Chains A and B, each alone.
Chain A
Amino acid sequence: MIRAGLRSAMILTVLGATGLVWASSPSVSAPPEPPRNVTAVDKPYDGGGTVNISWEASPSADVKAYEVFSHQLAPESVQIAEGAAAENDAVESETRDLLESEGVAPEDADREAEERAGDVATSPIIVSKWESLGIVDAEQRTYTAEALDKFTPYVFMVRAINEANESSADSNQTAPVVPSYAFFDLGKLPLLCFLILICGAVFLFVILARQGMPMKIRTIAGLKAVDEAVGRATEMGRSILYINGIQDMDDLQTVAGVTVLGRVAKTAADYDAKIEVPTSRSLVMTAARETVQSSYFTAGRPDAYNPDLIYYVTDEQFGFVAYVAGMMTREKPAACFYMGAFFAESLILAETGNSVGAIQIAGTASPAQLPFFVAACDYTLIGEEFFAASAYLSGQPDQLGSLKGQDIGKLVVGVIILVGVVIATLMTLSAPAIGDAPSAFHQGFSAAFDFLVNTVLGS
Chain B
Amino acid sequence: MQVLTRSIPLLITGLAGLVMILSAFFPYTSDWGKTAGQFFNILAAFAFVLGGGNLLKIHLKKVSDQSEGWGYSGVILVCFIATLVVGLGKIGVYPSADHPNVRLSGETQGTGSAFWWAYEYVFKPLTATMFSMLAFYVASAAFRAFRAKNFEAILLLGTAFIILLGRTFAGVLVTGWIDPEGPFGGLRLEELSVYVMQVFNTAGNRAIMIGIALGIASTSLKILLGIDRSFLGSGD
Using a CB–CB cutoff of 8 Å, the interface residues on chain A facing chain B are 46-48, 150, 181-185, 188, 191-192, 195, 198-199, 202, 206, 248-250, 252, 255-256, 258-259, 262-263, 281-283, 285-287, 290-291, 293-295, 297-298, 308, 311-316, 318-319, 321-322, 326-327, 330-331, 344-345, 347-348, 350-351, 354, 365, 367, 370, 372, 375-376, 382-384, 386-388, 390-391, 394, 396, 398-399, 402-403, 405-406, 409-410, 413
Could you write out 18 A-B pairs with CB less than 8 Å apart?
A185-B25, A191-B24, A191-B25, A249-B40, A250-B40, A255-B223, A256-B219, A258-B230, A263-B230, A291-B234, A318-B127, A318-B130, A347-B137, A367-B205, A375-B142, A375-B145, A390-B235, A402-B227
CB nearest to A312 among chain B residues: B51
Q: Could you tell me the distance between the alpha carbons of A391 and B214 in the complex, rounded to whole angstroms?
A: 15
Contact call A198/B54, Cβ cutoff below 8 A: no
Q: Could you tell me the distance between the alpha carbons of A286 and B51 in the complex, rounded to whole angstroms?
A: 9
Question: Which A residues lie within 8 Å of B26 (CB)?
Answer: 183-185
Contact call A351/B141, Cβ cutoff below 8 A: yes
B3 to chain A, nearest CB (A): 15
For residue B216, CB closer than 8 A to chain A, the reply is yes
Q: Could you tell me the distance between the alpha carbons of A282 and B217 in the complex, rounded to whole angstroms?
A: 26
Q: Could you tell me the distance between the alpha carbons of A202 and B228 in the complex, rounded to whole angstroms?
A: 13
Question: Which A residues lie within 8 Å of B1 (CB)?
Answer: none
**Stretch with Cβ within 8 A of A (4 or more), from B42-50, B101-109, B184-192:** B42-50
Q: Could you tell me the distance between the alpha carbons of A183 and B25 in the complex, rounded to whole angstroms?
A: 9
For residue B181, CB closer than 8 A to chain A, the reply is no
Question: Which B residues lie within 8 Å of A376 (CB)?
Answer: 141, 145
Question: Which A residues lie within 8 Å of B54 (CB)?
Answer: 282, 285, 311-312
Contacts A195-B21, A250-B44, A330-B69 aside, 4 further interface pairs with beta carbons under 8 A come to A281-B44, A285-B50, A322-B126, A322-B130
Contact call B215/A388, Cβ cutoff below 8 A: yes
Contact call B134/A344, Cβ cutoff below 8 A: yes
Contact of B233 among A248, A290, A386 (CB under 8 A): A290
Known: A188-B25, A312-B51, A399-B222. Is A259-B233 also a contact (CB below 8 A)?
Answer: no
For residue B138, CB closer than 8 A to chain A, the reply is yes
Q: Could you tell me the distance between the alpha carbons of A293 and B233 in the complex, rounded to whole angstroms?
A: 7
Contact call A202/B58, Cβ cutoff below 8 A: no
A337 to chain B, nearest CB (A): 15
Q: Could you tell me the distance between the alpha carbons of A231 and B215 in the complex, rounded to whole angstroms?
A: 29
Interface of chain A: mostly helix, strand, loop or mixed = helix
Known: A405-B218, A406-B217. Is A396-B211 also a contact (CB below 8 A)?
Answer: no
Contact call A409/B230, Cβ cutoff below 8 A: no
Top 10 A-B pairs, shortest CB-CB distance: A282-B51, A387-B215, A181-B27, A384-B215, A294-B233, A282-B47, A318-B130, A312-B51, A384-B211, A406-B218
Contact call B131/A318, Cβ cutoff below 8 A: yes
A210 to chain B, nearest CB (A): 10
A287 to chain B, nearest CB (A): 6
For residue B84, CB closer than 8 A to chain A, the reply is no
For residue B208, CB closer than 8 A to chain A, the reply is yes
Question: Which A residues lie within 8 Å of B216 (CB)?
Answer: 252, 365, 387
B135-177 interface mask toward A, CB cutoff 8 Å, 1 = contact, 0 = none? 0011011101110000000000000000000000000000000
Contact call B134/A198, Cβ cutoff below 8 A: no
Contact call A365/B212, Cβ cutoff below 8 A: yes
Q: Could you tell me the distance between the alpha carbons of A2 and B15 in the complex, rounded to whole angstroms?
A: 102
B48-74 interface mask toward A, CB cutoff 8 Å, 1 = contact, 0 = none? 101100110010010000001100100
Q: Could you tell me the distance between the alpha carbons of A286 and B26 in the complex, rounded to whole angstroms?
A: 35
CB nearest to A194 among chain B residues: B217
Contact call A192/B215, Cβ cutoff below 8 A: no
Question: Which B residues lie within 8 Å of A308 (CB)?
Answer: 58, 61
Question: Which B residues lie within 8 Å of A318 (CB)?
Answer: 126-127, 130-131
For residue B232, CB closer than 8 A to chain A, the reply is yes
Question: Which A residues lie within 8 Å of B48 (CB)?
Answer: 282
Of the candidates A250, A262, A398, the one having the most CB atoms from chain B within 10 angstroms of its own CB is A262
